[in-house]
Structure 1
Amino acid sequence: MWFSFFIYTVLTALLPGPNNILALNSSMKSGYQKSKTLLLGIYSGFTVIMLLAAFFTGLLLNSYGFLLNYLKYVGAVYLIYLAWSVISGKQVEIDGEQKEQSSDSAGDFWKGFLLQLVNVKIIIYGITAFSSFIFPQFKELWIILVFAFLLSFIGNSATWIWAVAGQKLHRFLNRHYKVVNTVMGILLLYCAVSLFL
């Protein structure tokens, strides 16, 4: 069972999703250092969602499951907004390299954090992990908290891998900026559409 748990969590975390695509896009355009505030927002929001999933999975599934349907619409709208932002992003010339104009740090933090509140992929990731693997085996609060932080660590590690890939490949990706941004925007749109499939 635990092998399945790790396969599920690691593969799901590594698959393209809003966090991974946003992290790749940001570090590709602005570099890893300038993306740290956005990544911190993603990491913080992800951890909050895993803690909420730990405590409210049973409640959501048994009493308020209909809320997930409404959350899909909110998530889809936000993903479409992110896709438009990625596709229509502008570049400016800095030190002989194409770089994306950076936005304010606080805005980047909240952009990453708020994405988690409507990121159905990670909400389902947490609910599925807790309802299928963790709660059937454990009820102790401290163990549940350990798993919440473990799920957060796995998910945030995957996002970090995508961010590093954006940093390491930024010269190649910047050479093909329009194509790359269009593909990433389409992937975000796919994430939005897939909420209803």
Structure 2
Amino acid sequence: MSVEFLVTTLVIVLTPGTGVIYTMATALSRGARAGVIAALGCTLGSVPHMVAAVTGLAALLNASTVAFQSLKYLGVAYLLYMAWSTLKDKGALTPDEENAPRPAAKVIVSAVLMNILNPKLTLFFFAFLPQFVDTGDPRAFPRMVELSLVFMLFTFLVFIGYGVFAAAVRHHITSRPHVMLWMRRIFAGSFVALSAKLAFF
């Protein structure tokens, strides 16, 4: 496994995007455990992209403008939905009451959907990843699986780091209603900005 692949993967994962924002928002509102669950969901959202890449569907999607555009605009719509939810009183950045935690399954499903509809991951797995695999290598298939799993591991660990950090400062933020209001606005604005960037990607 090349150093170039490891460094590039780390840079991609560290760059704040939809998954990082969602993980931090979840950790701020519900604590470190929820942040870890969100990180797991974002990581699991990479699986469909990995499966598509290693089974040869990459060429099909890259050749179909309609398919890629459809995926992109579904992602835009979902990001706008996340922005709207975040602004609501019961949105992603509203502290839960201790007796009414958000189900882990719901956190995971939201995170998985977000990453499934993220063309940045599609481009990574469909275009970037194969560059590190020799198509003439008889072990090309397991090699792509190996690289994909490393990417997912990096994603999980880095996102946990973001979530733990957010949870660590949670009390200082959630105990101040005006700060929470502005945090909701900032996160909602981030989702809107990401959706706009994605729409013109």
- TM-score normalized by the length of structure 1: 0.83
| CA RMSD of superposed structures (Å) | 2.7
- Structure 2, unmatched stretches of 5+, are none
Contact kept? 1:9, 1:129, Cα under 8 Å: no
Query: Matches of residues 21-100 of structure 1 in structure 2 within 5 Å?
Result: 21-55=21-55, 56-61=57-62, 63-90=63-90, 91=94
> Are 1:131 and 2:125 matched, yes or no?
no
1:188 alignment partner, one of 181, 188, 191 = 191
User: Could you tell me how far 1:131 is from its partner in structure 2?
Assistant: 3.5
User: Could you tell me how far 1:47 is from its partner in structure 2?
Assistant: 3.0
Cα 1:139/1:123, change in 2 over 3 Å = farther
> Are 1:164 and 2:167 matched, yes or no?
no
Residue matched to 1:10: 10
CA distance in 2: counterparts of 1:128 and 1:173, whole angstroms: 40
Residue matched to 1:153: 153
Equivalent residue letter for 1:45: G
Cα 1:193/1:105, change in 2 over 3 Å = same
Between 153-162 and 33-42, the greater mean CA deviation after superposition:
33-42
User: Could you tell me how far 1:184 is from its partner in structure 2?
Assistant: 1.5
Residue matched to 1:113: 112
CA distance in 1: counterparts of 2:189 and 2:33, whole angstroms: 26
Q: Secondary structure at the match of 1:172?
A: helix
User: Could you tell me how far 1:94 is from its partner in structure 2?
Assistant: 5.1
Residue matched to 1:142: 142
CA distance in 2: counterparts of 1:32 and 1:93, whole angstroms: 13
Greater relative CO, 1 or 2 (CA 8 Å, sep 6+): 1
Equivalent residue letter for 2:10: V
Cα 1:35/1:138, change in 2 over 3 Å = same
Runs of 4+ in 1 over 6 A off after TM superposition: none
* % identical equivalent positions: 18
Contact kept? 1:47, 1:149, Cα under 8 Å: no
Q: Secondary structure at the match of 2:24?
A: helix
Equivalent residue letter for 1:57: A
Contact kept? 1:49, 1:123, Cα under 8 Å: yes
Superposed CA offset, 1:53-101 (max 9, x none)? 333223322x334411111110000001111112224446858xxx9x6
Cα 1:152/1:178, change in 2 over 3 Å = same
User: Could you tell me how far 1:126 is from its partner in structure 2?
Assistant: 2.0
User: Could you tell me how far 1:138 is from its partner in structure 2?
Assistant: 4.9
Cα 1:143/1:132, change in 2 over 3 Å = closer
Equivalent residue letter for 1:120: P
CA distance in 2: counterparts of 1:93 and 1:60, whole angstroms: 40
- Structure 1, unmatched stretches of 5+, are none
User: Could you tell me how far 1:118 is from its partner in structure 2?
Assistant: 0.6
Equivalent residue letter for 2:59: G
Matched residue pairs, number?
Answer: 192
